[in-house]
Structure formats: structure tokens, C-alpha cells
A and B are shown apart, each in its own frame.
Chain A
Amino acid sequence: MADDPDHDGIDDPKEYRWETGYERTWESIKEDEDGMIDAAIAELIQKAKRKRQHDKTAQNRLGMMRHVFLIVDCTENMNTSDLKPSRLFCTVKLLEMFIQEFFDQNPISQMGIIALKGKRAEKLTELTGTSKKHIQVVQELTKLNPSGEPSLQNGLDMALKALKVLPTHASREILVIMGSLTTCDPVDINATVESLKTEGIRTSIISLSAEIRICRYITSETNGNFGAVLDDSHFKDQLMAHIDPPQAAQTQENSLIKMGFPHPRAEEGKGPILSMCMCHIDNKDDPSKLSSAGFHCPQCLSKYCELPVECLSCGLTLVSAPHLARSYHHLFPVKQFREVLFNGQSDKCYACQKVFTAEADKHVYFCEMCEQFYCCDCDLFVHDTMHTCVGCNTLPGVQKRIALKVSGGQGGFGI
């Protein structure tokens, strides 16, 4: 990903991706003694798998309560079929995945979706913390017939209006997916950029066509990321990079947030009380049912079907302890494993019991904490999905060693 900008502004000394990209790819494939290329290919696959991992490092100040507005371009340019089957379809498919993953990894965050249709911006969903509604709305985008031009400014203004009123302790972000090369704005867009900057709203843009100066400018002004995609897998990488919470902005205020932890209310000797939930109360398609299950807000006793949610009547954020614990892995990521050349250090992967062979496993991965060897797939599984090192948690004593190193790190939840 040579076009990852971070902070290096517009005058990027690096070459553009499309200038270097696929040069001499054949040189990286080497035949082994028998003239076979299997091993070389296996290595290439391994490398590609690990690509995304490298830049993940431990940070202790993250904006973990995220309020993200997703702005999706739904205009003529999204019909182009450079991404298969069309830009819009490809975007919708990836967004479904993105939304699911986003809420999985950031359980106490909220997201809203804005569509840019024919010079207007239309708010499809308000900021909420559940993925279901968003996915439904995104899927409906495929029925749309994209036409006209987008207005980046209208979209940004709408998101700005909604994000401005939110408390500043949360990380406020906008992610734009732009298919068009142009934007048709009512007034000077620089004014919008200026207010985004003063509000400290991080704006990131993924362009499906090419690098656009104004987009690059917006992202560099607001500390966001800009990316232009090469193909669908690159698009996916770019999108998935936004799953991890960003570094907390300097302007972000720190505060204590009042939260409620609902628990089952069972009175001695009585069965649970039948009641209706608040989340479906206005929903005509799927009306609220009378039941005894659900979570009660400890402040006003309104009932909700699922957590996390913001209480509709008293505004208290309702979460469960596991949800908070789920966000913890961002603060204490598993240390990167060291890549070592395989020369029979271990006969099998410690986690999945895969037997190492010299052909398939050129490299094995070594955890410095528990001193065990892992295969490439387990390395990815541990760091991307599980966030728990297998060896460190099965071998007694390792945890204590880690605890000594990161003393005072984690407190205790639960029991």
C-alpha cells in the first residue's frame, strides 16, 4: 500500500502505487531445486496475508468510543464496472462486511449512514449502535439507480451537523466512499473543511476512481486517511483499516461517562414481569412483543431487547461488562510474533497442532512471551480474531511474567 498517506501530505515523495505496483512480479517467484514453484507461491500467499498486520502497535490512548458517519456516494459514477460487478454492488458487499466487523470490534461505538444522491445528501440511518439496521439499509442501496453528481459538501455538512452536538470525549469520524471525480457544491467547500477541522472531526476518504486533490486536502487537514483503490481486495484492505480505533486526538476531552449495566430483575418468589421492549415500540413491521426476557435500564426501567443501546427515555448508555471487555484488546494487543525461518524448531504449531513441513512453512512465528512456535494461519487468527495468545494462556507462569512487565495495566472486571 504505497499510497498510505498518514501525515506525509500532498507532496508525497513516494511514487504512486500504479507506477510501481506490478513491476517484475515474476522475479519474486523462484524455482526450487526440483524446478517447482509451490514453495515460492506459498510464501507469497503468506506474505500477502500478513501485510495488514505490521503497523499495529500498542497504543494506550485510543478513541474507542467512536461515532462514525459513513458517507456513500450513490451517483452515476458508481455504475462503472471497474470493480465487479459494479462499484456500487462491490461497495455494498464490502460495507456489509465492514459494518459487521466494526460493531464486533468496537462494541460501544455508533455509526450512521448518509447517501449522496443527485447533489443531495440523504441520511439513511441515524447514529446507532446496532449493525442490523445499517446492514439492511446498505443492502437496499443496490435497488437504487445511481444518477447525477454527488455533493461532497452537502454530505459533510450533514454529518458535521449531527456530530457537532455529540460530547467531545468520543472520537468523531467521517468515512466517505467516493466514486465520482467531481463534487458539485453549493458554496465554498473550504468553509466546511475549516469547521471540520475546528470541531476535530477526523475525515477519511476512500476514492474508487483516482486521487482527487480536494479529498486529499480534506483528509490531511482533519487528520484522516486518504486512499484510492486499485481493485476490490485493495478496497477491502483500505476499508478494513478503519476497523481499528484511531489514536485519540489531542483535542479529544477525557471524561467519565455514566453507563448502566442492566441485569435480570427477578424478585424472590415471583416470576419475571411481562413487559414490552422500547426498541420495537415504534416499529410497525416487527412490533414489540410482550415477554419477560430483556434488559432493563437501571435508571428508568425501560426494557430493551439487546445491548449495547442508549436508553430512549433517559439517555443512559446501557452496556454489559463483556462489551467493555471486548474493547480492551485494542488497549492491550497481543505482541507481534517474530517471524523466523523454519528449521525444525518445533514439529507442530502450538495452537492448531498443524505439523510443520519444510515445503509449506518457510517461516514460523515465535511468541517471545511464551516461547512457542505458531503457523502463519494461527498467527493471523491470534492477532486478528482472538486477540489472545494461545501459549501465553495455557502455560502457567507466563501470565505472571507478562503482568510484571505491564504492571498496573489491566484492572479487573467481573467476578
Chain B
Amino acid sequence: MESNEADISLLVVILDTNPSQKIIRKNAHAMTQCIDAVVAFGNTHLMQKSQNKLAVIACHHSVTEFLYPTAGKLEVRQVDGQYEIFTLVEKTVKHRLAELINSAPRIVQPCESLLAGSISMALAYIARVNRNKSVGMRLSSRILIVTGSNECASQYMTYMNVFFTAQKQGVTIDVCALDKSLSLLQQGTDITGGQYLKLPQLDGVLQYLLWVFLPDHQTRDKLVLPPASKVDYRAACFCHRELIDIGYVCSVCLSIFCKITPICGTCQTVFKNSAPIREKKKRTIK
């Protein structure tokens, strides 16, 4: 791959730190393992080229915050022989995360991670970096989501908005699922041309990250990566929440129904009977 001085690659890692994740509840060390892996992964990205940029966002149960870069510079003592940015990344991420966890309210019951919102924050950040880049520089950005949460259908609209925004801005979304398989996020990777990987096991998470998610878009074409499974884009009808092949869509509010109804259940529009209703046979029986 020819490296060009004018190419900047920005990687935004969204790390799900929600303590209600199953893997963390089962084994608290899993969290440490993931953080170490993400820091090492981020540093590897920075190591590839001096122009590369990194941002780390933590999606906690109460708040989403940037772990790196932060507004105030943290005082870091250089470790002998280590590239100072690496130390800075590691120290800042861990310091900020500790602050975040300590300041977060205790959770009473398991709650969902607001990943879609975190993606929107990442996109806003990417948009700013893109605006502020110096003339002649080309920025390619991607977002890596590392999560063990379940996804929640209530965030569907936000997910779709951010996926299409990412597609429009040329941002690739990669997803590393630590625990459950995530079909919504899988749609996102499909829409934006990213990679989706569900880890077979949590051990060696760094190896998986380095292997699948480190190469940039051009290099990935040349690698044999886990094949993308077919994504199911079917809609669920609003009336029974079942996936349907053929449905009826309200022309006013775009609600989907599996059968013809005279009145839209969402916007109360009365439909004109465009499709002929076959009821003649019944009448003859009467």
C-alpha cells in the first residue's frame, strides 16, 4: 500500500463500559482485558503512521464521554523508550475511565447501552476533524464498536439515522461483538461497508481486533476476512411485529402493515379503498 503524507486515518473506538453487560457481570476482569486490548489496538493504529489519529469514546450506562483525546492535557511522565503518545493514550484512557466509573451513579437494574447515541457523537467529532483539517489533507475515518451488550429495538431510528449519515460521510463502521450477535449493528456494517465480527471467545480479543479491524479499507480487499453473512433487511409489521415479505405501507406516515386495514393505526388516516376487496362470495352465501 502506498502511503501518502496527505492521508490521515482517524479511528474512533467506541467502548461499551456499561456494567450491565453479561460478560462483565460474570467476570469483572473481562473489562480490564477489553480496555487493555482497545488501548493496545489504538496504539497499533497510531504506530502505523505518524499522521494517524485516534479517539476513544466510552459508552457508559449513564453517560457517553470521550476518553481520549481530552480537552485538558494530562501530565504524563514518559516511560523510557516508549513513544510518548502511547503512554499518553494509555494513561489518559485509564485515568478518564476511572473518573467516569467513580462519578457514575450506581445502577439499580440492568440498563441498555445507548450505542446509537455514541455513534452520533463519534460522527459529530469526525465531522469536526474533517472541517478543521488543513487544505490538501485527505481524511478517512472509521468507527469501531466494541460491545457485549444486547441491542435494543427502541434505538432503531437513531441507528438508521447514524448509519446513513456514516454512509454519506464515507465513514466505515466496524463492529466487534463480544457476547451476543447484533443484527442491527450488522446492518450498519453492511450499509457502511465495514466488518462485523462476533468473537467466538473473549480470550485473545486483541488478536481478533488486530487481525480483522486494523487494516484500512483498501488493504481489507486483499485479505481473507470472515465473510459477511447475509443481512436480513425485512421490515416488521406494526400490527403483529412479525417479519414480512410483502406488506402494505401507509402513504402518509409510512407505517407498515401485514394486511390491508381501512384506517392507519399510527396516524389515523382513513384510506380510500384502492385495492378491490373481494367480498362478493360472502354476500351470495347470505
- Cβ-defined contact, B71 with A355, below 8 A: yes
CA gap between A62 and B250 in the complex, in Å: 12
Contacts of A262 in B (CB 8 A): 233, 245
Which segment, of A39-47, A193-201, A250-258, A361-369, faces chain B? A250-258
Which segment, of B27-35, B37-45, B85-93, B147-155, faces chain A? B147-155
Known: A254-B270, A382-B124. A411 touches B246 (CB 8 A): no
Contact of A65 among B232, B233, B251 (CB under 8 A): B251
Taking the complex as formed, is A353 at the interface, i.e. its CB lies under 8 A from any CB of chain B? Answer: yes
Taking the complex as formed, is A394 at the interface, i.e. its CB lies under 8 A from any CB of chain B? Answer: yes
Known: A257-B249, A322-B191, A412-B153. A390 touches B117 (CB 8 A): yes
- Cβ-defined contact, A351 with B125, below 8 A: yes
Contacts of B117 in A (CB 8 A): 388, 390, 392-395
Contacts of B245 in A (CB 8 A): 260-263, 298
Question: Which chain B residue lies CB-closest to A170?
Answer: B251
Taking the complex as formed, is A167 at the interface, i.e. its CB lies under 8 A from any CB of chain B? Answer: yes
- Cβ-defined contact, B233 with A321, below 8 A: yes
- Cβ-defined contact, A261 with B233, below 8 A: yes
- Cβ-defined contact, B131 with A253, below 8 A: no
- Cβ-defined contact, A415 with B153, below 8 A: yes
CA gap between A309 and B163 in the complex, in Å: 21
Taking the complex as formed, is A338 at the interface, i.e. its CB lies under 8 A from any CB of chain B? Answer: no
Contacts of A236 in B (CB 8 A): none
CA gap between A262 and B251 in the complex, in Å: 20
- Cβ-defined contact, B128 with A322, below 8 A: no
Interface of B is mostly: mixed
Question: Which chain B residue lies CB-closest to A330?
Answer: B254
- Cβ-defined contact, A394 with B63, below 8 A: yes
Known: A261-B246, A322-B163, A386-B120. A255 touches B274 (CB 8 A): yes
- Cβ-defined contact, A386 with B161, below 8 A: yes
Which segment, of B133-141, B212-220, B234-242, faces chain A? B234-242
Contacts of A353 in B (CB 8 A): 66, 71, 125, 128
Contact of A261 among B131, B235, B265 (CB under 8 A): B235
CA gap between A414 and B156 in the complex, in Å: 7
CA gap between A259 and B258 in the complex, in Å: 10
Contacts of A327 in B (CB 8 A): 254
Contact of B251 among A254, A348, A396 (CB under 8 A): A254
CA gap between A324 and B66 in the complex, in Å: 32
CA gap between A388 and B124 in the complex, in Å: 11
CA gap between A387 and B61 in the complex, in Å: 23
- Cβ-defined contact, B232 with A396, below 8 A: no
- From 219 to 277 in chain A, residues with beta carbon under 8 angstroms from any chain B beta carbon are 248, 253-264, 266
- Cβ-defined contact, B253 with A320, below 8 A: no
Taking the complex as formed, is B177 at the interface, i.e. its CB lies under 8 A from any CB of chain A? Answer: no
Taking the complex as formed, is A16 at the interface, i.e. its CB lies under 8 A from any CB of chain B? Answer: no
Digitize B41-68: 1 where CB-to-A-CB distance is under 8 Å, 0 elsewhere: 0000000000000000001011110100
- Cβ-defined contact, A256 with B233, below 8 A: no
- Cβ-defined contact, B271 with A378, below 8 A: no
- Cβ-defined contact, B124 with A351, below 8 A: yes
- Cβ-defined contact, A396 with B71, below 8 A: no
Taking the complex as formed, is A331 at the interface, i.e. its CB lies under 8 A from any CB of chain B? Answer: yes
Contacts of B183 in A (CB 8 A): 415
Contact of B261 among A170, A256, A266, A325 (CB under 8 A): A256
Min CB distance A298 to B, Å, is: 4
Digitize A306-346: 1 where CB-to-B-CB distance is under 8 Å, 0 elsewhere: 01000000001000111011111101100000000000000
Min CB distance A313 to B, Å, is: 15
CA gap between A415 and B181 in the complex, in Å: 13
- Cβ-defined contact, A331 with B153, below 8 A: no
Digitize B221-248: 1 where CB-to-A-CB distance is under 8 Å, 0 elsewhere: 0000000001111111010010011111
Contact of B236 among A307, A348, A381, A413 (CB under 8 A): A413
Taking the complex as formed, is B207 at the interface, i.e. its CB lies under 8 A from any CB of chain A? Answer: no
Contacts of B157 in A (CB 8 A): 325, 328-329, 332, 388, 410, 413
Taking the complex as formed, is B199 at the interface, i.e. its CB lies under 8 A from any CB of chain A? Answer: no
Question: Which chain B residue lies CB-closest to A354?
Answer: B128
Taking the complex as formed, is B10 at the interface, i.e. its CB lies under 8 A from any CB of chain A? Answer: no
Taking the complex as formed, is B195 at the interface, i.e. its CB lies under 8 A from any CB of chain A? Answer: no
- Cβ-defined contact, B241 with A322, below 8 A: no
Taking the complex as formed, is A299 at the interface, i.e. its CB lies under 8 A from any CB of chain B? Answer: yes
- Cβ-defined contact, A322 with B164, below 8 A: yes
CA gap between A354 and B66 in the complex, in Å: 12
CA gap between A400 and B27 in the complex, in Å: 31
Taking the complex as formed, is A190 at the interface, i.e. its CB lies under 8 A from any CB of chain B? Answer: no
Min CB distance A158 to B, Å, is: 25
Contacts of B234 in A (CB 8 A): 261, 263, 320-321
Taking the complex as formed, is B252 at the interface, i.e. its CB lies under 8 A from any CB of chain A? Answer: yes
Taking the complex as formed, is A60 at the interface, i.e. its CB lies under 8 A from any CB of chain B? Answer: yes
Question: Which chain A residue lies CB-closest to B233?
Answer: A320
- Cβ-defined contact, A254 with B154, below 8 A: no
- Cβ-defined contact, A415 with B236, below 8 A: yes
Give the interface of B toward A (CB within 8 A). Answer: 59, 61-64, 66, 71, 111, 114, 116-118, 120-121, 123-125, 127-128, 131, 151, 153-158, 160-165, 168-169, 183-184, 187, 191, 230-236, 238, 241, 244-257, 260-261, 264-267, 269-272, 274-275
A-B pairs with beta carbons under 8 Å apart, 7 shown? A256-B261, A328-B160, A377-B127, A389-B120, A394-B114, A411-B255, A414-B153
Q: A261-B244, A396-B61 are in contact. List 16 more A-B contacts (CB 8 A).
A: A64-B251, A257-B251, A258-B247, A259-B248, A259-B249, A261-B235, A264-B231, A307-B233, A322-B160, A324-B249, A326-B164, A351-B124, A385-B168, A387-B165, A395-B117, A415-B184
